[in-house]
Amino acid sequence: MNSISDSITTRFNKQIWTKFRRGVRDYGLILPGDCIAVCISGGKDSMLMAQCIARLKRNNEIPFEVEYVIMDPGYTPENLRRITENAELLGIPAKVYSTRIFESAEKEEKHPCFLCARLRRGWLYKKAQELGCNKIALGHHFDDVIETILMGMLYGSQMQTMMPKLKSENYEGVELIRPLYLVREADIIAWRDYNKLGFIQCACRVTEKKGEDGSKRAEIKALIAELKKTNPAVEMNIFRSPENVNLRTLISYHDGDEYHHFLDDYK
């Protein structure tokens, strides 16, 4: 057995494995008969997710099938080599599929990141259908969730969260799942460092040129870190806030295209 894989259920059992299994169970992310396209970007998050899913399959707790997918949007040869070498080191039988997404996104001057994300997501859904998968798994974690909540409020004037699973509106029969939903980024970093692993940070050409320190997500990370100094529970409070919504205290809300305003029923 791979010692790196073993560390998930030994050294990091409480921090990673237990939370991974709880997320799978509580949100119904992986069910008997599923065929899951595990999407590996090459970073620490997706690599850990692939390890956890591989271990879950070996344990045979839930009968499901899996395809490990590395989408190459236009990585440099060095980055692609590092991704494939890490997959081999971790015992992940991943297949590489080449695309020209970075090339297309670079042509978009105003919102290249938005276009890149949309193209990548669309490609993954389509590839999942081609492989006969009914789910695609992405490596978003607990910190991504709370950062998304705050970003929506502070920069998008909206209240929403990153869902643990989501049905595709454009690709029938394909569902997106986030198995690391309850796992903290700090614990992923600790797992990476404990095993002396080196993953790519961000292989985006645009980010490499402009840098990512000035991104909105970086600002939100810094804000949460500052708030945590005086309120240690702030991260969990943010995470739980979308689970404790009192509709009577909202000015308005919408369910799809159906909008509701508090004055509609106010007497």
- Taking only the tens place, the pLDDT of each residue in 121-131 is 889 999 999 99
pLDDT for 56 equals 96
Q: Residues in the chain with pLDDT < 70? A: 1, 109, 202-214
Give the up-direction half-sphere exposure of residue 250: CA atoms within 13 A in the CB hemisphere.
13
pLDDT for 212 equals 47
pLDDT for 208 equals 54
Domain at 3-245: CATH code:
3.40.50.620
pLDDT for 267 equals 81
pLDDT for 207 equals 56
pLDDT for 213 equals 44
Cβ atoms of 94 and 66 closer than 8 Å? no
Question: How do the domains of the chain map onto residue ranges?
Answer: 3-245
Coil/strand/helix, residue 72: strand
Nearest to 222 by CA among 138, 127, 143, 167: 143
Rg value, the chain, Cα:
19
Integer angstrom CA distances of residue 104 from 13, 74, 109, 127, 200:
41, 10, 11, 18, 21
> Six-digit token pair at 29?
């992310």
pLDDT for 27 equals 98
Percentage of the chain modeled with pLDDT above 90: 75
pLDDT for 118 equals 85
- Taking only the tens place, the pLDDT of each residue in 97-144 is 988 888 877 777 677 777 888 888 889 999 999 999 999 999 999 999
pLDDT for 115 equals 81
pTM for the model stands at 0.91
pLDDT for 101 equals 85
